[in-house]
Structure formats: C-alpha cells, structure tokens
Amino acid sequence: MSVDQRAGAGRGDGRLPDGRHGPGRGLTARDYMTEQRPTWCPGCGDFGILAALREALLQEGIAPHEAVVVSGIGCGSKLPDYMRVNGFMTLHGRPLPVATGFRLANPAMRVIVVDGDGDAYGIGGNHWLHTCRRNPGLVHLVENNQIYALTKGQYSPTTEQGTRTTTSPEGSIERPVNPIRTALAAGATFVARGFAGEPKELARLIREALHHRGYALLDILQPCITYNKVNTYDWYAERIVRLESEGHDPSDFDAAWARAGEFGERIPVGVFYRTEEVPAYEERVPGLKRGPVVERPLDDLDEAAFEALERELV
C-alpha cells in the first residue's frame, strides 16, 4: 500500500483539519528553511538527509508548527538549527525518551528524532532498545556514517571490523552492530534503510515512516567525506539494491531477518519489515483516554487530579 493510499487511515495520519493533504495546502520548501547555514563539511551526507526531511514534510502537508525534531549530540544532530520547525536538542544519547514525552503529551504532533549512529546505537542504545519494544509513534532517522565525526573520527558501533580510525590505528577489533536485526529482535514494527545520496528516494521512505502507527526506524547510510574514506558515495552506489524491486514482502518477518544479514557486496535499502497490528504506546496509556494532556485546562490539574494522573501514567 502506498503512502497516498494510506493517507487518512487513522489518528495522526497527516490529514489537515480542513481535510486537505500535501503541498496543496500552500506550503513551499522555503517554509521549512531558516537563516542558519549548515556548518557541515561540503559534500556531507547530512545535506541529503536535511533535503529529504524537508521534502517529506512538504509532500505530507505538515506545517512547521505541526512537527518537532528532537536530536542528540553529533554532526547531524545540529539539524534542528537548519529547519523551521519546533526543535529540541537533548543530551548525548537521550533524544528518544524526550521525544516519547513529546508524543505522550501531544499525540497529534509529528515527532521526529534525528541523531547519529554513535548517539543512537552507542550511548543511547538502551533507550533505543526499549523504544523499539514500547512502540511510541516516533519517526527515528539515524544518520549512520559508521564513525564518530564530530569528535574527530573515532570508531563507532557500526564501524566495520578492521577499520583504522583515530582510536583504532591498527584496525577496529569489534564486530559492528547490525541496526536492522537489532531493531527486529527488539520488537520494532517498522524497520527500513535509506541512502543519503538519494534524497528523493529517502524522502519517500520518510513519508512511509510518517504514516506508520508506531515506532519507525530509518537507518540512513550517510557518507562522511572527512573521516570515513571507505564507505563513500561511490562505494554505496556500487552495492545498493532495492528491496522493493526484488519482490521483498515487508510483512514477512523471516524474510526481513534474512535480508537484514546482507551487508557487503550487496546492501539492501527500503522497508525491511512493517506491521500495523501492534498498537502505538500512546494508544495504550490510560491517562490519555481523556485526550491529549496539552489540550486540558490547567485548572483541571489540582493536586488531587495531578496525583491521580501520576498513578495512571506510572
């Protein structure tokens, strides 16, 4: 089922209050731009991710005030500075719990997390695993450049074994994290991979993620032209294959697990796995049955009411 076919299917589906959908609302790319100029290295893959996210929001007709981008620490985590949307920069590795709080407070808000492989899979790994199993309605864009770039080129959780970096001059001895299989094992209900060198295709995948009922992981292969001289744009272009063109069924967990094991001469991109059968976390929280917290009058939360709400949520 395509994004357009799913538009309007359920709560928080991207439909506007007046029923219109997409750029017909009168939005333009300029509506998502700020006066801040990115400080990324020329040619950095983060530029493609920024362009793709802007395009996805534009095509979905999601106005700047209807979205929040939560980030961690790292090169790509500076992205909220370069987008005219609500933004929140957190501590290193902590964007997912903060984003979950946003989603619980206002389920109508589109909550997008943007961080790097070190932030997401390293220091934030514990939060990541539990977000997968809880299934809150978040879109998680992980800029996976297989290196710690902001701090000058240390090896990261996804660095290939044997790679020489500033902290592994004789080659990394650690086996890399497989983000796709880890997310599948942890219970994620939408698991995909994209490529920063193909911003239009990446925008399509982001749109797919925006329509998902719960947590959507989009691991993005993102070349770092300064510190990663192996995983370049050309290196990826020679290896990328599209799951969709090869007849992959994203509803088949076993097939997704098998394809997730491929990373070398062939690197699959696209949606590995998706199920809409698991309720989103915010759908199951008793304290939200009366509606979003942000829409409740403040005088409704006296001390007794606050204690009752706390008992419901904890």
Number of domains in the chain: 1
What's the mean pLDDT in 299-313?
77
Two tokens, residue 243:
């799951």
- At residue 309, the pLDDT reads 75
Q: The whole model's pTM is what?
A: 0.87
Token look-up 């701090």 returns 151
Q: Residue 184: left (phi > 0), alpha (psi -120 to 50), or beta?
A: alpha
pLDDT given for residue 10 in this prediction: 32
pLDDT of residue 12: 39
CA neighbor of 148 nearest in space, from 79, 93, 197, 198:
93
CATH of the domain at 52: 3.40.50.970
pLDDT tens-digit map of 207-242: 999 999 999 999 999 999 999 999 999 999 999 999
Element (H, E) at 116: strand 110-116
Q: How confident is the model at residue 6 (pLDDT cuts 50, 70, 90)?
A: very low
Please indicate whether residue 111 or residue 11 has the higher confidence score (pLDDT). Answer: 111
Predicted confidence (pLDDT) per residue in 21-38, tens digit: 455 578 998 999 999 999
In this prediction, residues 33-50 reach a mean pLDDT of 95
The residue-averaged pLDDT of 172-189 equals 96
**Domain with 29 in it:** 3-313
Q: Is the predicted pLDDT of residue 60 greater than 60, yes or no?
A: yes
Is residue 19 predicted with pLDDT exceeding 50? Answer: no
CB proximity list for 48: less than 8 A, separation 6 or greater: 196, 197, 198, 199, 202, 222
CA-nearest of 101, 130, 98 to 114 is 98
- pLDDT tens for residues 66-87? 999 999 999 999 999 999 999 9
